[in-house]
Structure 1
Amino acid sequence: MATERPDGIPGASNIDPTKSIQSGEQEPKPSQSFDSFMKEGQGSASKPEGPSPFDLVAQGKTALNSGPTHESILGQMNSTSSVLGDLQTQLNKKNLNLRQSQKYLLRNKLTSANQNIRSAAQKTGVDVGKPPAQLNRNNPVIKFLGILSDSQDQLKNAQLRIQQMNADGESVSPGNLLAVQVKLAKAQQELEYSSILLSAAVSDIKTLFNIQL
């Protein structure tokens, strides 16, 4: 028994898969070309703020290529000298009482900073002479002040040397300038660490006075 097909549904024999578009009919076109769509997509992307990683790399290379100058080294010496002055003020605090561990750290840090400063001064052509004598073992504060005083003297002599070279039209070699920059940076880190240690010691004194009061 043949099944009846509902009205309105054509049979398979009535469908022509090869039927072409009749004359007068047009293929539907996309409302936007692919090229224009891609351009809009690129234009709509938000531009990141600030320099790109490539810009930062280029800036870093420029900074390395420029290297330290007489002026930048003089500024670095002024900054290091300022930290030395702060340390001298802290060590001259009345009733300063350092624990054994603090004395040990200060001795190592200040001695290392002094060696770096003397090495930096020597790179500028300064005759640094003999290192400061390790006297007054029973009074470490006086010994520390002697180390700081020698560091200040070396920086002052190095600054005068560079200023004289500027006046004479001479210059420190790029290699020595870079060595001076590195030595001073290390020295300043050690001095700043020493300043933190002394600040803690001064804070302990204030706390003790408050308890006694």
Structure 2
Amino acid sequence: MHDNDAVTLASQLCSRLCHDLLSPVGALTNGLELLADEEDPEMRQRCFELLEQSAKTSANKLKFFRLAFGAAGGFGEKVGIEEPKAVIEALAEDAKRVEVNWALAVDALPKPAVKVLLNFAHMALEALVRGGTLDIGAERRDGASEIVVRATGPKIAFDATVGNALEGTLPEDGLSGRTAPAHMLALLAEQVGGNLQFQQSDEALVLGAMLPEG
């Protein structure tokens, strides 16, 4: 990747982070303003509940970005599977109307695989605009991490440009805050000699990855 491309990718990932945090952080600000003017005990309690939920959502998103985009400092070359699992379950709880099923045959994953797992899960959650089921599987086979994430629901919303980014066919002017995570995954897969795949229908989205280790 050229230096200019790297800077553009970093800028778009930062834009995505800011976009995703704007809503819960804005809700915190609004809640504090309401609380300052509210005297009714019942309404004040409601404000506290809204503040608590907004703070929880903000923390969940920051935990996601730390592992999904960041260097994941504090971890070794591998990350225990419970870390990304807890993050995904928290995001699914925030999304509501989503049931998560797990098929994990590993205790830990290399950092690139963790990034793929988290971003796949995030893409799948965003695709479930009317709720549904999220099935997540990870295993190690023949020296490679294999990851499969499937979203099933009454309506699947998946941007074709995100799919292009996963396949490495994104046009030069197609990098945006929406496509940057998928583009990052494509670069990670290329670096380790792996591959990414996706299949989409009206009621299902399947995301798969094979990432050699070492």
TM range (shorter): under 0.3
Indicate the structure whose relative CO is greater, using CA pairs within 8 Å and at least 6 residues apart: 1
> Where is the helix percentage greater, Structure 1 or Structure 2?
1
Higher gyration radius (CA): 1
TM-score by length of 2: 0.25
**TM-score scaled by structure 1?**
0.25
Query: Which has a greater percent of strand?
Result: 2
